[in-house]
Amino acid sequence: MKLYHYVHCPFCVRVRMGLSFLGQDFESRVTPYDDEATPIRLTGKKMLPIMEYEDGSALNESLDILKKLDVNDRLDWKQFSANESTLNPLLDRIGSPVHSLAMPYWIWTPEFGESSRKYFQTKKEVKRGPFKDLVKNHKTFVDILDLILFNEVLSELKPFYKSDKITIMDLMIAAHVWGMYVVPEYQFAPHIHAYLMRVKAETGFNYHEDYWR
């Protein structure tokens, strides 16, 4: 199996966390952000993650990729079905400040080259405004993010999200928040950091391993 992914992308990160948790080996294909041809050839649209199977077929949608592999329901998918109406809006609200804070830094990680950096920044600035302003206004986004994490994540940890054992919901939350490790202005609340490290310990996930291996 080949996973086409962007290292920074939270939907790709959740798949990598899941593959690691399930002990599923895969070929890592870190795809340049400005490579439109590869995803379009595989699935008809420019969206990652994509898993390509040995028979040449390909699948996108992070949750579909993981569900297909998790034949023994180790990620307890019924928990997600029960909480989907709360979790999806929560992830959108977490994603918004995380993206504003992390995007200006993601483009300087080794995943990006000159042309993919320019492509990414141009595309994202249409929605969010100039990256330099996002950095300048970081405090606003930090306050929004911390409030959500404190009120809607920390309060639900038992010690995993609404559960005493890890579920797909933890991979989804952790993958979204993980991007904040690249932001130098951000100080993780100790309990949130501990939660992410708990998810890391359970899954064996290593953020940059798939880039360097």
Q: Which residues bind ligand GSH (CB under 6 A)?
A: 6, 9, 11, 46-49, 60-62
Provide the residue type at 25 as one letter.
Answer: D
3-state secondary structure of 56: coil
Shortest approach of ligand GSH to residue 207 CB, angstroms? 15
Least CB distance from residue 209 to ligand GSH, whole Å?
Answer: 19
List Cβ neighbours of 111 (8 Å cut-off, separation of 6 or more).
Answer: 6, 7, 8, 30, 33, 211
Nearer to ligand GSH, 46 or 162 (CB): 46
Question: First-to-last CA distance in the chain?
Answer: 15
Smallest gap from Cβ 4 to ligand GSH, in A, equals 10
**Shortest separation between residue 14's beta carbon and ligand GSH, angstroms:** 8
Q: Assess contact for 173 and 161: CB atoms under 8 A.
A: yes
Residue with smaller CB distance to ligand GSH, 67 or 200: 67
Whole-number Å distance between alpha carbons of 42 and 133: 36
Closer of 51 and 153 to ligand GSH (Cβ):
51
* Pick 62 or 167: Cβ nearer ligand GSH: 62
3-state SS class at 52? strand
Instruction: Quote the least distance from Cβ 23 to ligand GSH, whole Å.
Output: 21
- CB closer to ligand GSH out of 61 and 152: 61
Concatenate the DSSP letters of all residues of 145-212 into one string.
Answer: HHHHIIIIIGGGBSSBBTBSS--HHHHHHHHHHHGGGG-TT----HHHHHHHHHHHHHHT--TTHHHH
Residue 120 Cβ vs ligand GSH, minimum distance, rounded to whole Å: 8
Kindly report the length of the chain.
213
Question: Rounded to 5 degrees, what angle do the CA atoms 39, 104, 49 make?
Answer: 20
In the complex with ligand GSH, which residue's Cβ is closer, 50 or 192? 50
